Amino acid sequence: MKQIRVAILGQGRSGRNIHGAHFHKDDRYQVVAIAEPLEDRRVRAREEFGCDVVADYHDLFARRDIDIVVNATQSHQHYPITKEFLEQGFNVLSEKPFCRTVQEADDLIATAEKHKVLLAVFQQSRFAPYFVKAKEIADSGILGRIVYVQISFDGFSRRWDWQTMQTKNAGNLYNTGPHPMDQALRFLNYEGMPEVFCHMDRTVTFGDADDFDKVILRAPGRPLVEVNTTSCAAFPNKTYNIYGTLGGLTGTMTHLEWKYLKPEELPERKLNPEPMNDEKGFPAYCSETLNWHTDSWDAGEDFELFPYISRKFYDMLYMTLTEGKPLEVTPQQVRQQIAVIEECHRQNPLSRIY
């Protein structure tokens, strides 16, 4: 078994608690270096990983024993630091958000191609079982033509950390948004730039970035797709509501249910342009009894979402690094997401306070 040698940039919630936690359990990967500017986190990283630890990521440029660099720095640093490592000939896995603008996304993609290195983005929610199942049901045709998809990552949560500051490339849409937006664009299944409507607001955040976002995507011949990332939802929506011409699906990250009609069981009907009466001759409303079929899916009582989707992402990445298999989550796909988010911000220019 080939072991992938990893350098992690950052030992915050992402670098340590997500990526680092995964590497502790996956012997296909070996952490050989960590860059972290905060001394207490460097001390902890040295104890937990037993690898080289540096304060300045530039000190890693001279090394050639690194197979991939995981960029888990703060959001506003993803683009410039990823670009530096690509230019130095390193494969890079960037945390989300990939970058701030389409121009930056195009630059990183071009830089990776120029230096013939791998560029990947950690959009692990693509592998979430609830999404995989909902997409499978929607694609199966059992719900008929999909008309509308609503994805909501809602809750009531006050934040006062750097993830609420525009200067840090933060806010709900850049921070939480990449997860539902990636799923939304898979449901939309449209290669071009969709029509975008967005309403953005600041509600309970202590910073100056957005914490209420409603995004509506529309494209020719595709379902209407709505994405909500809201921090002031005392009564949150379910994760999914999907409408189809033969049924629908609703549910959360742990439980989905759907109901559907079988076309062959539907009573035969034809348009009646005349006033309708019931059997006694009184005015009547169209009504019929339909034979609904139901089904459901559960994640399982002991299921842990975040370790699972990290594992699935790193399974994919391992096959790419060792066997050259194409990435299932490509930078070009994430570029489309950044284009949508950039347009949302263009429509909603929030004043900067900090």
66 touches 33 (CB < 8 A):
yes
Q: What is the mean pLDDT of residues 17-33?
A: 97
Least confident of 85-99, 115-129, 206-220, 268-282: 268-282
Structure confidence by residue, pLDDT tens digits, 300-325:
988 999 999 999 999 999 999 999 99
Burial class (CB in 10 A: 0-12, 13-18, 19+), 102: middle
Instruction: Give the 3-state secondary structure of residue 320.
Output: helix
Q: What is the average pLDDT score of the chain? A: 97
Query: May I ask the CATH architecture of the domain 126-305+335-347?
Result: 2-Layer Sandwich (3.30)
Structure confidence by residue, pLDDT tens digits, 242-262:
999 999 999 999 999 999 999
Q: Which residue ranges make up each domain of the chain? A: 4-122, 126-305+335-347
* Relative orientation angle of helices 178-188 and 129-140, to the nearest 10 degrees: 20
Query: Which two structure tokens, joined as six digits, stand for 348?
Result: 């909603």
Q: Which CATH number fits domain 4-122: 3.40.50.300, 3.40.50.620, 3.40.50.720, 1.10.1660.10?
A: 3.40.50.720
- In this predicted structure, the answer to whether residue 279 has a pLDDT above a threshold of 90 is no
pTM listed for this prediction: 0.94
CB atoms within 10 A of CB 328: 17
Give ∠ CA 163-126-15 in degrees, rounded to 5: 40
Q: How far apart are CA 9 and CA 39, in angstroms?
A: 14
How many angstroms from the chain centroid is the CA of residue 285?
A: 44
Structure confidence by residue, pLDDT tens digits, 161-172:
999 999 999 999
Q: What is the mean pLDDT of residues 82-99?
A: 98
